[in-house]
Amino acid sequence: MTRFLAALAAALLVCSTPAGAQTVDVVVQAGHEGRPASCAPNHVHACNLGASSAAGREIVWTPIVADALAATLRAAGLRVARRPADYPQHDTARVAVYVHMDGSAPPCLSGASVGFPAATPHRFIADWERAYRRYFPYRFVGENISTNESNYYGFRKVTAPDKFLIEYGELTCPAQAAWLKPRLRDLGAFTARFIIAELR
């Protein structure tokens, strides 16, 4: 009877896990990727397509960064769930990272920033800030500069001790966009190396 109950409990656990949900080392989400087509099927009412300028579009840039980030993590032997903006699964990970670029009107009022939920240890965030401030030659605006950062919907999609949303810079600012555009893959690799070091 005990074996039967254990088997039943295991079967119920499997059935209660959403199809496609993963337990991995890192979840990598590309902001706005897959929209607008992904919004209606996933019941997304505010179907934000991201910032854009003459230099490019956030919805195009974030997958490039996220793909390089995921590839570098996998090359280091880490398990990665690479996610678009909207998806039905709820994942479990050690780290979750959400890739974005900022926009501003008028331009050049913003820059790089980082968002995170209250449960993420500030040590992790401070480590990221120190690393990225040394790398990014323009303005670092700060932490959780809006409720869109501190209460980012993607945080609810992943159970992880460390979650952070990165605004790599302002693509509506010509100088920042000119620096960012040729470095999109480098930004992904840089972020992956940071995460690899943090997980050691």
Position 19 confidence tier, pLDDT thresholds 50, 70, 90: low
The predicted pLDDT at position 179 comes to 98
Residues 11-35: what's their mean pLDDT? Answer: 76
pLDDT of 20 reads 82
pLDDT score at 150: 97
At 9, give phi and psi (nearest 5°). Answer: -65, -40
Spatial separation of the C-alpha atoms in residues 49 and 71, rounded to whole Å: 25
Mean pLDDT, residues 79-101 taken together:
97
Q: Which residues contact 138 (CB under 8 A, 6 or more apart)?
A: 111, 112, 169, 170, 173, 175, 176, 179
Q: Which amino acid is at 115?
A: G
Predicted local confidence at residue 2, as pLDDT:
42
Q: What's the distance, Cα to Cα, between the start and end of the chain in Å?
A: 43
Cα distance between residue 98 and residue 165, in whole Å? 4
pLDDT grade for 28, boundaries at 50, 70 and 90: very high
Question: CA 16, CA 155: separation in Å to the nearest integer?
Answer: 20
100 C-beta neighbours (distance < 10 Å), count: 27
β-pair partners for 91: 158
Judge whether 112 and 179 are in contact, CB under 8 Å. Answer: no
Number of separate helices (H) and strands (E) present in the chain: 6, 10
For the cut 90, the answer to whether the pLDDT of residue 8 exceeds it is no
With bands split at pLDDT 50, 70 and 90, how would you rate the model's confidence at 13?
very low
Residue 69, pLDDT score: 98
What span, in angstroms and rounded, lies between the C-alpha atoms of 135 and 166? 14
d(CA 175, CA 95): 31
Q: What is the mean pLDDT of residues 152-175?
A: 98
Average pLDDT, the chain: 92
116-138 pLDDT, tens digit per residue, is 999 999 999 999 999 999 999 99
